[in-house]
């Protein structure tokens, strides 16, 4: 509401609309984002803690994964939501570095607040942050180290760095090997570059045994049973047919009435049906197939004939499994039994049904150079298995990144220290008021090594002084924090290495979100218009289920 000429109130917004503008809106947004960043800080790094997430339904998830924590937080404040988006983007693009990106965004905003207090205009800060983030990409490219596709040892180290802070670190080597083997298996060379689609790595979770018994199957594992008990449970030297059509008698489209007047006619009718089904089964067996995966249904009579012919058949296979089966076995999916012949069949050394606990799984083992593989995660409880899956996802992503880009950087805060140093030097060249923003960026990025030190119970100030001093020396680009001893060491000597792509994306996603938030100078909450933030003095009303997390409840903003 505002006062028009002659003091007549002009209603622009509906009554009850909440609104904060200018500095107040900015402060609001920055505070909300900072709270979210604060919440994930303690999970960063190898000494990071886990969060226990309790949903409204009482479901419990224990995780160290930034993306998961952010997703599960029922955040209501729009600026906080943007940080959730940062985590999601980071997770989707590169699969790792989510916590780092959120912490950096939070710190960039905190530093921006200081600049706003000094009356520096948001557009100056935004421009400065943009320049800093571009320069940061140059610095990262300059410190990156090459890795060859065949350098399995290094790829394994990248996987280990990513999973070492997660619960699957109890079987670190085992998982790292599975990760590297599976990504390399699905990687393909396109125009002299490797491309690895990790969606071709199927993950099956089965409760029981321990994480160490997690297994990579060079082929497929399908959560399905063999369609009939009359079929063999195991076939060696499998020749596999993939059929995208039903093995049933086609029902007529319209209602047809068949008058059967004598038992003979009935028999003829049934015989004819049987003959048609037998024909279909013959087409399968004549092609040489001894295993049949069908996306649709299979008639009981056809199952009987298939069983008699010693064929394993599985019906109602999902189309995504069919595609992966095709990639794994080399079979072509056909749309009719008539198209089956030796050329369209795929191969596997063994197809067998395996009983795990109460469930049955179908293993298609040892395919020749399969382009799709399966990882079967085992673990004592569903919590363990779910967290293992999330960590495995991070590991698969980082190895994919390195295989595709062929570039790594050191971990343990080393690249951040180098970035901070380079940006401080760059700030001087930028000059003017933007210089202050570039300097703020350089300081904000130090929050990563600082948090690593803090989480390891080390003195952050001592560590930062030592880290900065080390990076002033020549050949110190890869020096970071040894979280066990508190010494500044060459991270490459400990093989703490990460994909270049993760660090690049951290800078990109954090800067983008920060700048978007800084641009907002008007926060309007529309009455009844869905979930908008409670206006001050409210607090982050929406952190449902996360009651235990320090300082998020009644924080004024
Ligand atoms: P994110 O979600 O950002 O990936 P993580 O909890 O996985 O968060 O922590 C990643 C950070 O931990 C990176 O900066 C990485 O370099 C660092 N890190 C991982 N392992 C070690 C280690 N053994 N020593 C020091 N730093 C490590
Ligand atoms: Mg990580």
> From the first residue on, what is the mean pLDDT of each consecutive set of 10 residues in the chain (557 residues)?
61 68 79 87 84 77 75 76 86 90 94 92 94 96 94 94 78 92 93 92 90 92 92 94 90 72 84 90 94 94 94 94 93 94 94 88 91 92 88 93 94 95 95 94 96 94 95 92 93 93 95 89 62 45 37 36
User: How remote is the CA of residue 395 from the centroid of ligand 2, in Å?
Assistant: 8
**Which protein residue has the closest C-alpha to ligand 1 atom 26?**
412
Coil, helix or strand at residue 26: helix
Task: Tell me the residue length of the chain.
Answer: 557
**What pLDDT sits at residue 542?**
38
Query: How much is the pLDDT for 23?
Result: 76
Catalytic residue among 91, 299, 394, 482: 394
> What pLDDT sits at residue 73?
74
Please say if 42 is a catalytic residue. Answer: no
Question: 452 CA to middle of ligand 1, Å?
Answer: 8
526 CA to centre of ligand 2 in angstroms: 38
Q: What is the pLDDT of residue 556?
A: 37
Which residues in 499-533 are b (16+ Cβ under 10 Å) and which e?
Answer: bbbbbbbbbbbbbbbbbbbbebeebebeeeeeebb
pLDDT for the residue numbered 76: 73
> Which residues have CB under 8 Å from 298's CB, separation 6+?
227, 246, 247, 248, 306, 313, 315
Query: Of 42, 98, 451, 478, which is the active-site residue?
Result: 98
Ligand nearest 452 Cα, by number?
1
Ligand lying closest to the C-alpha of residue 98: 1
Ligand 1: centre distance to CA 228 (Å): 50
Q: Is the CB of 330 under 6 A from ligand 1?
A: no
Annotated active-site residue in 42, 43, 63, 65? 65
Sign of the C-alpha dihedral computed for residues 443, 445, 449 and 452 taken in this order: positive
Backbone angles phi, psi at 329, to 5 degrees: -100, -15
405 part of the active site:
no
Ligand 1 and 496: CB distance under 6 A: yes
**482 assigned to active site:** no
The ligand 1 atom nearest the CA atom of 96? 4
The ligand that comes nearest to the alpha carbon of residue 45 is 1
DSSP lists the bridge partners of residue 363 as 221, 352
> Which tokens belong to 106?
């939070």
């Amino acid at each position: 509401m505002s006062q028009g000429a002659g003091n007549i109130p002009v209603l622009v917004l509906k009554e009850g609309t909440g609104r904060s503008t200018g500095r107040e809106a900015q402060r609001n947004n920055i505070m909300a984002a900072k709270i979210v960043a604060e919440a994930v800080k303690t999970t960063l790094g190898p000494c990071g803690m886990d969060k226990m997430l309790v949903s409204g339904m009482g479901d419990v998830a224990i995780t160290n994964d930034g993306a998961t924590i952010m997703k599960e937080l029922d955040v209501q404040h729009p600026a906080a939501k943007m940080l959730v988006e940062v985590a999601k983007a980071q997770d989707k693009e590169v699969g790792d570095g989510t916590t780092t990106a959120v912490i950096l965004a939070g710190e960039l905003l905190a530093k921006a607040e200081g600049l706003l207090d000094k009356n520096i205009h948001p557009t100056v800060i935004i421009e400065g942050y943009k320049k800093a983030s571009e320069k940061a990409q140059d610095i990262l490219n300059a410190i990156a180290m090459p890795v060859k596709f065949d350098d399995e040892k290094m790829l394994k180290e990248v996987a280990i760095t990513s999973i070492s802070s997660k619960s699957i670190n109890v079987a670190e080597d085992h998982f790292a090997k599975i990760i590297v083997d599976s990504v390399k298996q699905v990687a393909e060379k396109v125009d002299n570059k490797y491309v690895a689609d990790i969606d071709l790595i199927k993950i099956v979770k089965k409760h029981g045994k321990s994480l160490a018994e997690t297994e990579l199957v060079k082929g497929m594992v399908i959560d399905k049973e063999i369609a009939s008990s009359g079929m063999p449970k195991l076939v060696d030297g499998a020749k596999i047919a993939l059929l995208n059509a039903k093995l049933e008698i086609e029902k007529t489209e319209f209602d047809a009435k068949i008058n059967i007047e004598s038992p003979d006619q009935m028999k003829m009718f049934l015989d004819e049906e049987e003959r048609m089904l037998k024909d279909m089964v013959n087409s399968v067996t004549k092609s040489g197939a001894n295993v049949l995966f069908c996306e649709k249904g299979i008639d009981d009579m056809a199952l009987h004939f298939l069983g008699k012919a010693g064929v394993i058949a599985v019906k109602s296979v999902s189309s995504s499994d069919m595609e992966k089966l095709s990639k794994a076995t080399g079979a072509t999916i056909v749309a009719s039994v008539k198209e089956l012949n030796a050329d369209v069949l795929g191969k596997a050394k063994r197809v067998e049904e395996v009983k795990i606990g109460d469930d049955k799984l179908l293993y298609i083992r040892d395919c020749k150079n399969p382009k799709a593989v399966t990882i079967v995660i085992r673990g004592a409880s569903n919590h363990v298995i779910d967290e293992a899956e999330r960590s495995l996802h991070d590991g698969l992503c980082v190895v994919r990144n390195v295989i595709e880009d062929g570039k790594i950087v050191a971990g343990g805060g080393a690249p951040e220290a180098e970035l901070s140093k380079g940006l401080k030097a760059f700030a001087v060249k930028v000059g003017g008021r933007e210089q202050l923003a570039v300097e703020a960026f350089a300081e904000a990025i130090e929050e990563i090594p600082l948090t690593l030190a803090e989480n390891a119970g080390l003195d952050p100030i001592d560590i930062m002084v030592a880290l900065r001093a080390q990076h002033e020396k020549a050949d110190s680009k890869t020096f970071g924090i040894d979280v066990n001893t508190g010494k500044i060491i060459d991270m490459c000597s400990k093989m703490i290495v990460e994909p270049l792509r993760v660090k690049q994306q951290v800078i990109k996603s954090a800067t983008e979100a920060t700048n978007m938030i800084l641009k907002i100078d008007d926060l309007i909450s529309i009455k009844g218009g869905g979930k908008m933030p409670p206006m001050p003095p409210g607090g982050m009303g929406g952190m449902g289920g996360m009651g235990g997390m320090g300082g998020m409840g009644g924080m004024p903003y």
